[in-house]
Amino acid sequence: MVTLASENGSGQKLWCGLWRWLKGSWTDRTVLLISLAGILYAWQWIHAEAGAGPAMVEIYHDKVLLARYPFPEPGKSIHFDAEGELGISGILIDSEGVHFSSSPCRTQYCVLNGRHSKGGEVIACVPNRILIAIKGSHINGSHYDAIVE
Amino acid sequence: MSRSIPRPSLPALEQKATWLSLLLLAVSLHVFEAALPSLGPWFKPGLANIATLLALVLLGPSAAAMLAVWRVIVGSFLIGTLLTPTFIISLAGGVAAAIAMLAAWRLLPGITLIGVSLIGALAHMTAQFVTVESLFIHQQALYYLLPPLLLLSVVTGWINGGLAAYIVSQLEESD
């Protein structure tokens, strides 16, 4: 019981210490609130801007729109080679989403970024200057959100 | 006829030594972050910013600004990204964060290192996106990525600010 009490005491001390160093001042909390409000408003606005209509994949190199595809039906896929600054980025679109399948860049962050399928999502390969943007929100006619279809 | 070299005062030497120690800390954290497995595209926890915050409190605004710039230059040299797009993006983020933090520190009454760090993290992320959009990608759709990353910046900025405040208090206690 003594050990338990002392463990509880040290745990409480740890939480008090953490709270002391992370609570911030009223000014900090006001800055936090304003920042969160601004970010959530921007997120909502972007969702509304990019999320209307059927989902389309747009592939850009710099300012040039290279291709624009709807998501294909299940079982089918589209492969597109986008020529950028360093070479060719392979892009694969299927009914599940779109992703970089290959890239000439050193870091391969764009390939590791994986598959995306929601309206307003973006994958960019900065070294090769290729950008994939998903506009719209409906994939193959259905529109799911967290609660209902 | 021998000319004696003027010796700097002890406080000036101490200040230079502190600045160099903070630069070493910042560069180490910069390299450490580069070696970390990616926590997601475009995202790093911004630990190196803790050194800028410490410089702001211990040495003043101009030393903090210089530290932010030199940290990116030396860190990029060590990880092999000097003068690459990564370097330009890092430098833009570092300079913007330093300017925003200095302005917040001077202008917002009652702000602590936590609020300053939060503002720095937001400025860092936003400046990186503006740089990428204006110099490399030229597509405004890129900003679709910004809000979720800003949310993560809020979290990391707050925690880094808390860590910096803790370190400053420990340094003050030991003096």
Domains, chain B: 12-35+43-174 (1.10.1760.20)
Helix (H, G, I), strand (E, B), or coil: what is residue A122? strand
Q: Which of the residues B126, B144, B158, B159 would you substitute to probe the A interface, choosing the one with the greatest number of A C-beta atoms within 10 Å?
A: B144
What pLDDT digit, counting tens, does each position of B82-136 carry?
Answer: 888 888 988 999 999 999 999 999 999 999 999 999 999 999 999 999 998 898 8
Report ipTM (2 d.p.): 0.84
Place of tokens 């290279």: A66
Helices (H), chain B: 10-35, 49-58, 61-79, 85-107, 113-131, 146-174
Report the amino acid identity of residue B172. E
Q: A89 contacts in B (CB within 8 Å)? A: none
Mutate to test the interface with A, among B39, B44, B105, B114 (most CBs of A within 10 A): B114
Phi, psi of B38 (to 5 degrees): -60, 130
**Number of Cβ within a 10 Å radius of residue B22:** 22
How many contacts does A have with B, using Cβ atoms within 8 A? Answer: 107
- Residue A139 phi, psi (nearest 5): -100, 125
Domain boundaries, chain A: 2-50, 56-135
A126/B137 touch (CB, cutoff 8 Å), yes or no:
yes
Among residues 91-120 of chain B, which lie with CB inside 8 Å of chain A? 104, 108-112, 114-115, 118-119
- Name the closest residue on chain B to residue A61, using Cα atoms: B137
A57 near A132, Cβ under 8 Å? yes
Are A133 and B118 inside 8 Å of each other by CB? no
Chain A positions in Cβ-Cβ contact with residue B109 (cut-off 8 Å): 27
| Phi, psi for residue B27 in degrees, rounded to 5 | -65, -40
Residue A146: what pLDDT? 32
CB of B108 closer than 8 Å to CB of A31? yes
Contact yes or no for B118 and A31 at CB 8 A: yes
Count Cα neighbours of B122 within 13 Å in the Cβ-side half-sphere: 20
Residues 68-127 of A with CB under 8 A from B: 109-110, 112-113, 120-124, 126-127
CB B70 within 8 A of CB B78: no
Tell me how long chain A is. 149
Q: State the distance between the two ends of chain A, measured CA to CA, in whole angstroms.
A: 53
pLDDT in tens, A71-111: 888 888 899 999 988 999 999 998 888 999 999 988 888 88
The owner of tokens 């009490």 is: A5
Of B83, B81, B50, which is closest to residue B67 (Cα–Cα)? Answer: B50
Specify the fold of A56-135. mini-chromosome maintenance (MCM) complex, domain 2 (2.60.320)
- Please tell me the predicted confidence (pLDDT) of residue A48: 79
Q: What is the pLDDT along chain A (149 residues), one digit of tens a residue?
A: 444 445 566 677 767 767 777 888 899 999 999 999 999 999 888 877 776 777 889 999 988 899 999 888 888 889 999 998 899 999 999 888 899 999 998 888 888 888 888 888 888 888 888 999 888 865 554 433 333 33
